[in-house]
Amino acid sequence: MSINLKFIYIQILSIFRVNMNSLTEKDILSIVETWNESEDERELESDYELDVNRQIFEYDDSLVDIDNLPEVKDETENIRNMSSTSSNFIDPKTVAKDLKKKYSKVLWKQKEFLNKTYQLCFNGNTTLPNGLLNLETPYHFFKYFWTDELLEHIIQQTILYSSQLDPAHPFKINKAEISQYIGICILSSVIHICDTRKYWSPVIGNKLVQETMTLNHFEKIRRFIHFNDNNKMLPKNNSQHDRLFKIRPLITHLLAKCQSVPYEECMSIDEQLCTTKGKSYLKQYLPDKPHKWGYKLFVLSGVSGFSYNFEIYTAQENDPTKRLSNEPDLGCSANIVIRLLRGVPKYENYRIYFDNYYTTLPLLVELAKNGIHTVGTVRRNRLPNCKLPTEMELKKEKRGTVVEYVTSIDQIDIVTVSWKDNKLVNLISTFTGKNPMKTIQRFDKQINEMVTLDCPDIVKEYNRFMGGVDKTNSLIGRYKIKMKSRKWYIRIFYHLLDVSLVNAWVLCKRASIEREMEDTLPLLDFRLQVAETLCKIGTATITTRKGRPSKMENTTEVKRQRISATHYPSTDIRLDNYAHWPVWTAERQRCKNPTCSSLTFVICDKCKINLCFQKNRNCYKEFHLNK
Ligand SMILES: [Zn+2]
Ligand SMILES: [Zn+2]
């Protein structure tokens, strides 16, 4: 087979796999979600996008040749075997039948829905606890997620893995080195050089990276870094086998940290893609995205862009054994929502927004019974007995036409609204419908000018709050770690690092607003400061280790510094009490201690700034001790 043909063949196979996954997990259960709609239609139907300016999240990764694309076929069989062998298996046919029977009797009435926005007033607590409010520097916020405890675990597993590979020469690594490694990874998201090794190049390289670690040591860490004990991994044919085993401790730790932050009132659920060209059976094909291959994540994010919960798609998560005893089985996509919302307090009127991939009537009813309210786009054919008009029926109506239907299931009132914009939009909610009507500005192509349209409240509500995950995705996309790796868990490690950095930044912003403090650094500077601190904290620079720099180097260094504006080290580096050696320079310069303006020859070798050290004035000590 030619390379081209092989590529197309693999692509077709993988499209099938996307469908198969949702089918094979609980074969017939998907009937509940899709009702009379065929699986193909479900995949092909593009979600109508409202004007939330949904940004497409782009990822770039290493170029791996075509021969390295995944062998999809075997894995599909694997998934099938797994779901049929899993224990205490509830027959999905009966569940689907019961649910379908119950919901097929739903009666819809065309009448006005009584808006419940005020009745279902939010009564949750969003105040940050003191532990979070007291965090100060970007580094502290980052360390809230990547604690010393986590670093210790990674060190332990890395040493273990290296000794499994070569028992005679176990690799040695300490906390400072693993921090530096992470620091360099973060730095690479801001200063992009296509080949990682080139960070050590004297021409296009980066000085901070070179001063932090030798290339040799960096490559070694990259080779050995590990998060779990391979010897404890269950074989693939075991029903308890975890596909994410190699990265599981990291996921568990970070999820606990994300969920320890109080939830926001309005949150959305959507997909996230961590693209890769590496080889892995976890990889998904997403035809709508610019980069089509990647690991798929389902994310719960607040309007701020903070991710409170996420799930990496493995096709294993819908196994009945993983469902809590009080959780009903509502079909694969609705079950994702149920799982992501496990930690959200009940009966406090939190509001969740999602698109028609997740929306089903049973899901809305189940959430509303638990005091969680929703707005979502919905497919007509997921609403049994639905009276909503079709696109054709509203063809002659003018733009801005609204049709509203109401029903009540188990005493939960539900409203569906069809609104004619450029296309027909169908929305469903348990708290708001058409009223109060709002207006919206739209561009009319025919008369070539802006027009004012009537717009139902439910549309405004959806537009305002649906963009949480999109915001997370665009924040990650702005600066992300682009280092190449063929190991799937390393790619996910980088992605989780990116997610944590965005979370730390959003949290830092939220804390400074609550404390009524000054503005937070822009995301770029935030990332840079975290990276620099990780590289330098508690360690000496490599130049110092090698001894005094030559006289020549010294003078050029001084000249270079003169041109650039003073770069102060982060507070965490300044106060770390480690290897701040004073060095005598050739030229006198202003002391950089804020309270002083005298001239001095003395420079701190780690902070790279001039500080005076005189008989009656010790700025050097003051600068390194005063908070
Ligand atoms: Zn210093
Ligand atoms: Zn001074």
Long-range CB pairs of 617-620 (<8 Å, 24+ gap) are: 619/591, 619/593, 619/595, 620/582
Give the pLDDT confidence of 129-168 residue by residue, as tens digits.
999 998 989 999 999 999 999 999 999 999 999 999 999 9
Beta bridge partners of 406: 109, 415
Ligand at minimal distance from the CA of 613 is 2
Phi, psi of 80 (to 5 degrees): -60, -50
558 phi, psi to nearest 5 deg: -60, -45
Whether residue 335 contacts residue 324, with contact meaning beta carbons closer than 8 Å, is answered with no
Ligand 2 centroid vs 538 CA: distance in angstroms? 24
Question: Which ligand approaches the C-alpha of residue 619 most closely?
Answer: 2
Tell me how far CA of residue 180 lies from CA of 185, 190, 257, 260, in angstroms.
9, 16, 22, 27
| Ligand in closest contact with the CA of 590 | 2
Find the length of the chain. 627
Q: What is the pLDDT of residue 75?
A: 36
Kindly give the distance from the C-alpha atom of residue 232 to the centroid of ligand 1, in angstroms, as a whole number. Answer: 45
DSSP element (H, E) containing 600: strand 599-604
Q: How far is the CA of 544 from the centre of ligand 2 (A)?
A: 23
CA of 479 to the centre of ligand 2 (A): 37
Measured between alpha carbons, how far is residue 233 from residues 242, 254, 318 in Å?
8, 21, 21
The pLDDT of residue 92 is 52
Residues 6+ apart with CB under 8 A from 164: 230, 231
pLDDT value of residue 91? 52
Counting ligands in written order, which one lies closest to the CA of residue 603?
Answer: 1
Q: Which ligand is nearest to the CA of 623?
A: 1
* Closest ligand to the CA of 582: 1
Which tokens in the block code for residue 448?
A: 């070539």
- Tell me the CA–centroid distance for residue 608 and ligand 2, in Å: 15
Residue 611 Cα to ligand 2 middle (Å): 5
Ligand 2 centroid, distance to 576 Cα (angstroms) = 20
- The pairs formed by 518-527 with CB atoms below 8 angstroms and a separation of 24 or more are 521/138, 523/475, 523/478, 523/479, 524/190, 524/478, 524/479, 526/138, 526/501, 527/186, 527/189, 527/190, 527/479, 527/501
Q: 615 alpha carbon to ligand 2 midpoint, in Å?
A: 11
Positive or negative, the CA dihedral 454, 457, 459, 461 is: positive
What average pLDDT is seen over the chain?
A: 80
| Phi, psi of 309, deg, nearest 5 | -155, 150
Q: What is the DSSP letter of 257?
A: H
What's the sign of the alpha-carbon dihedral 478, 502, 311, 298? Answer: negative
Q: Residue 108 has what pLDDT?
A: 85
Q: Ligand 1 centre from 561 Cα, in Å?
A: 16
Q: What tokens appear for 306 in the block? A: 């903070």
What is the distance in A from the centroid of ligand 2 to the CA of 573?
Answer: 19
Calculated CA dihedral for residues 28, 32, 35, 38, nearest 10 degrees: -40
Distance of CA 340 from the midpoint of ligand 1 (Å): 45
pLDDT at 140: 94
pLDDT tens track for 259-290: 999 999 999 999 998 877 766 667 777 676 66
The stretches in the chain having pLDDT less than 70 are: 1-96, 278-281, 286, 288-292, 542-565
Under DSSP, is residue 207 helix (H, G, I), strand (E, B) or coil?
helix
The number of the ligand nearest the C-alpha atom of 592 reads 2
Ligand nearest to the CA of 617: 2
110, burial (CB in 10 Å: exposed 0-12, middle 13-18, buried 19+)? exposed
Ligand 2 centroid–CA 614 distance in Å is 8
Beta strand 372-377 with 350-354: parallel, antiparallel or unpaired? parallel
Ligand at minimal distance from the CA of 609 is 1
* Ligand of minimum distance to the alpha carbon of 610: 2
Indicate the pTM of the whole model. Answer: 0.77
From the CA of 572, which ligand is nearest?
Answer: 1
Distance 557 CA to ligand 1 centre (A): 16
What 3-state class would DSSP assign to 310? strand
Q: Which residues surround ligand 1, an ion (CB under 5 A)?
A: 580, 604, 606-607
Q: Which residue has the tokens 């190049």?
A: 201
Cα(523) to centroid(ligand 1), Å: 25
How far away, in angstroms, is 566 Cα from ligand 2 center? 15
Residue 290 is predicted with a pLDDT of 64
- Ligand number nearest to the C-alpha of 581: 1
Q: How far is the CA of 600 from the centre of ligand 1 (A)?
A: 15
Give me ligand 2 centre to Cα 618, in Å.
7
Whole-number Å distance, alpha carbon 253 to ligand 1 midpoint, is 33
Q: Is 540 left (phi over 0), alpha (psi -120 to 50) or beta?
A: beta
How far is CA 197 from each of CA 79, 115, 137, 206, 387, rounded to the nearest angstrom? 39, 60, 30, 11, 62
CA of 263 to the centre of ligand 2 (A): 47
What is the DSSP secondary-structure string of 462-508? Answer: HHHHTTHHHHHHHHHHHS------SSHHHHHHHHHHHHHHHHHHHHH
Ligand 1: distance of its center to the CA of 608 in Å? 7
In the numeric block, which tokens belong to residue 577? Answer: 């009490």
3-state secondary structure of 294: strand
> In this structure, are residues 92 and 229 in contact, taking their beta carbons and an 8 Å threshold?
no
The secondary structure of the chain in percent helix, strand, coil, rounded to multiples of 5, reads: 40, 15, 40
Cα–ligand 1 centroid distance for 254 (angstroms): 32
The rounded Å distance from CA 204 to ligand 1 centre is 27
> What are the residues whose beta carbon lies below 5 Å from ligand 2 (ion)?
591, 593, 596, 612, 619
Q: What angle do CA 144, 147, 150 make, to 5 degrees?
A: 140
What is the per-residue pLDDT for 46?
A: 31
| Nearest residue to 31 (alpha-carbon basis) of 438, 400, 332, 446 | 332
Q: Which of 34, 85, 7 is nearest to 285 (CA)?
A: 7
535-555 exposure pattern, b = at least 16 Cβ within 10 A, e = fewer = bbbbbbbebbeeeeeeeeebe
Residue 612: nearest ligand to its CA? 2
With a CB cutoff of 8 Å and minimum separation 6, the contacts of 168 are none
- Ligand 1 centre distance from Cα of residue 613 (Å): 13
Q: Residues 355-366: pLDDT tens digits?
A: 999 999 999 999
Report which bound ligand comes closest to the CA of 618: 2
Centre of ligand 2 to C-alpha 599, Å, is: 7
SS (H, E, C) 573-593: HHCCCCCCCEEEEEEEEECCC
The DSSP output letter for 320 is G
Residue among 293, 336, 256, 344 at smallest CA distance from 62: 293
What is the Cα–Cα distance from 585 to 192, expressed in whole angstroms? 32
Choose among 241, 267, 436: nearest CA to 350: 267
